[in-house]
Amino acid sequence: MRMYRLIAVLVAVLGFPALGHSEDDVVIVKKAVERSTLAQPGTKPFHLKAMLAPTRDSDRGSNRTGDVEIWWASPTRWRREVRSPEFQQIAVTKDGHEWQKNDGDYFPEWLREIAAALIEPVPSLDQMLEQVKGADVKKLKGSTYFQWTMISTDGNVQAGMGGSIAVTDSTGLLFYGGGFGWDFSYRNYQSFHDRMVARTVSAGDPEVTAKVTTLEDLGNVPPGFFDAETKGGDAQPLRTVLVEEASSRKNLLPSEPVVWPPLQDGPLEGAATAQIAIDRAGKVQEIGPVIANNPGVVEVARAAIAAMRFKPYLENDLPVQVVSRITLAFKTVRPAGVENFESAQTYFERGRHLSFPAAASGVPYLLRAEFEVKTDVGTVEGGKYVDTWISDSQWRREASIGESRYIRARHGEKRYEWAEGPNAPLLRLVLKAMEPIPSLDTFVESDWRIRRDTIDGVKTIRLMAGYNSPDGKVDPKGRAYWFDETGKLVKSYFMGIETQRSQFEDFSGVRVSRQITILQKNEPKSWIHVTQVSPAGTIPADTFELPGHEWDRVFTDEVR
């Protein structure tokens, strides 16, 4: 889920084009999963051993260490041993019979999931493929990503959590995937007969990495090695089931109301949700990352979830471990004495209408600009930008430099994108710098923190997403926008790039910036100078058409 979030941010900022969905998507994903799945008919019997340890040094104290060893003869005859400091299990399955010997009352979910992922990277393949059929699809850095949203609810409020799977285009193998009850990344593939097996699998939070140290043919095993009816096993084997929130909530016992903290930033109402693992006695043993409409409630929500108690969940009259989701509604206030700003949406929409003629005036216009940028070969060259706007459904934006150009356009319901030449990525950033305010359908209100700031003596309101240092400096991975007291945009920051807007002139009631300075690390790197903003004359309709370059506006935070 963490990787899904990072990619979503990159895509929103840069605007990677979306791909059309087809039935071939299901075939691609299904083939990728089956190529790497050991636990399936037709796999040559094997012996596998893997060592487990926290991925990051900072998580060494999590006690998430151990090993997994599997002897597999067929889908109906296998033996698995898992060992960790807190839990050990020997499990044998033979022809429908199951035998277990457990040292510990709770099979840690992180351990269960990664042990399963070593030989079956995607559980419940058919269910996952149904998600792929309706997923958003895109390509990024040599992989194809399929993304969907899973909704949970307490019956009153809803919360979404992302699910995804990615396939490396060059190999056709799984890169990572995550959904309800699984979340893995796969690396270091090596062949085993007709399978391609990930020798490194990572999962969980704190993250654990399993490294396969042995993968070999099964060979001879001692007599009775796969005996599932021998004496000495546990009377009640440990089982874990995935349960939807509506069902698990029926077993939730009454608890004290949550006292939510006052919040200085973000929305005061919303929901928080997390995946949880519950033991056979009804105690919450593990809590996944808490996702909330306001990050300020995350720790309180986590504490409230940890304190929950459930009646034991029964299957066939026997208690089982449960993996489920839990959703909490929150409602709170601002701290005393803290200024109550308007919503981020209000500042963005006001700034868009005051600063950009395409958003406000309704008057068809032609805007021309000249710019200087450092090209891919290190030289500083001049380029041109032209924005022709007739209406929301008829417009064209084009930036060019030398033999490179980048165009986005719309004619009616059809949108277009055309990129050519080595400097097309630079030209894409020119379009972003010209109209940087994000679209309201691509950001979450709670991502934005609002405060007053002063820029070159001008009083402003700053909206920022991401980390900032105690002295207020924005992290290079963050985004920020500054609006003056009238509401117009005077500065923006994204991907380590700062744009300063000045020399405002009126056009049909819109304050258009004639000078845009682009800086990196506080050093001016390029300049955009608007040379013309005038009413548009007669524009041929084919100006807005780019046959063969149709494009869907998905995975971008640009309005146009």
pLDDT band at 481 (very low <50, low <70, confident <90, very high): very high
pLDDT of the residue at 389 = 97
Q: Which two tokens stand for residue 242?
A: 């995935």
Q: Do domains 2-217 and 240-331 have the same CATH topology?
A: no
Question: What type of residue sits at position 174?
Answer: L
**Average pLDDT over every residue of 338-359:** 92
- In this structure, which topology does domain 344-544 adopt according to CATH? outer membrane lipoprotein receptor (LolB), chain A (2.50.20)
User: Which of 109-113, 358-362, 469-473, 494-498 has the least mean pLDDT?
Assistant: 469-473
pLDDT of the residue at 175 = 94
- Inform me whether the pLDDT recorded for 405 exceeds 80: yes
Pairwise CA distance, residues 234 & 482, whole Å: 64
The helix/strand/coil state of 559 is coil
pLDDT of the residue at 11 = 40
pLDDT of the residue at 552 = 78
518, 497 contact by CB (below 8 A): yes
**Average pLDDT over every residue of 436-453:** 86
pLDDT band at 445 (very low <50, low <70, confident <90, very high): confident
pLDDT band at 3 (very low <50, low <70, confident <90, very high): very low
Alpha helices in 314-396 (DSSP H): 344-355, 357-360
Q: State pLDDT tens for residues 84-131.
A: 999 999 999 999 999 999 999 999 999 999 999 999 999 989 999 999
Q: What is the mean pLDDT of the chain?
A: 91
**Average pLDDT over every residue of 418-429:** 92
145, 139 contact by CB (below 8 A): yes
Q: State pLDDT tens for residues 83-97.
A: 999 999 999 999 999
**Average pLDDT over every residue of 233-249:** 95
In sequence order, the 6+-apart residues with CB closer than 8 A to the CB of 425 are none
Pairwise CA distance, residues 371 & 454, whole Å: 27
pLDDT band at 469 (very low <50, low <70, confident <90, very high): low
Closest alpha carbon to 480 in 489, 471, 339: 489
Pairwise CA distance, residues 275 & 288, whole Å: 5
Range 140-169 burial, b when 16+ CB lie within 10 A, else e = eeebbbbbbeeebbbeebebebbbbbbbbe
Q: Map out the domains of the chain as residue ranges.
A: 2-217, 240-331, 344-544
- Inform me whether the pLDDT recorded for 259 exceeds 60: yes
What architecture (CATH level 2) is domain 240-331?
Answer: 2-Layer Sandwich (3.30)
Pairwise CA distance, residues 184 & 202, whole Å: 5
**Average pLDDT over every residue of 379-384:** 90
Pairwise CA distance, residues 289 & 283, whole Å: 18
pLDDT of the residue at 35 = 97
pLDDT band at 471 (very low <50, low <70, confident <90, very high): low
Q: State pLDDT tens for residues 300-334.
A: 999 999 999 999 999 999 999 999 999 999 999 98
- Inform me whether the pLDDT recorded for 438 exceeds 80: yes
- Inform me whether the pLDDT recorded for 8 exceeds 70: no
Q: State pLDDT tens for residues 61-84.
A: 899 999 999 999 999 999 999 999
- Inform me whether the pLDDT recorded for 16 exceeds 60: no
Pairwise CA distance, residues 432 & 429, whole Å: 5
DSSP 270-321: EEEEEEEEE-TTSBEEEE---EESSGGGHHHHHHHHHT-BBPPEEETTEEEE
**Average pLDDT over every residue of 350-362:** 91
Residue 24 or residue 290, greater confidence: 290
- Inform me whether the pLDDT recorded for 165 exceeds 60: yes
Question: What type of residue sits at position 355?
Answer: S
Q: State pLDDT tens for residues 210-227.
A: 999 999 999 999 999 999
pLDDT band at 23 (very low <50, low <70, confident <90, very high): low
Write down the CATH number for the domain with range 2-217: 2.50.20
pLDDT of the residue at 554 = 65
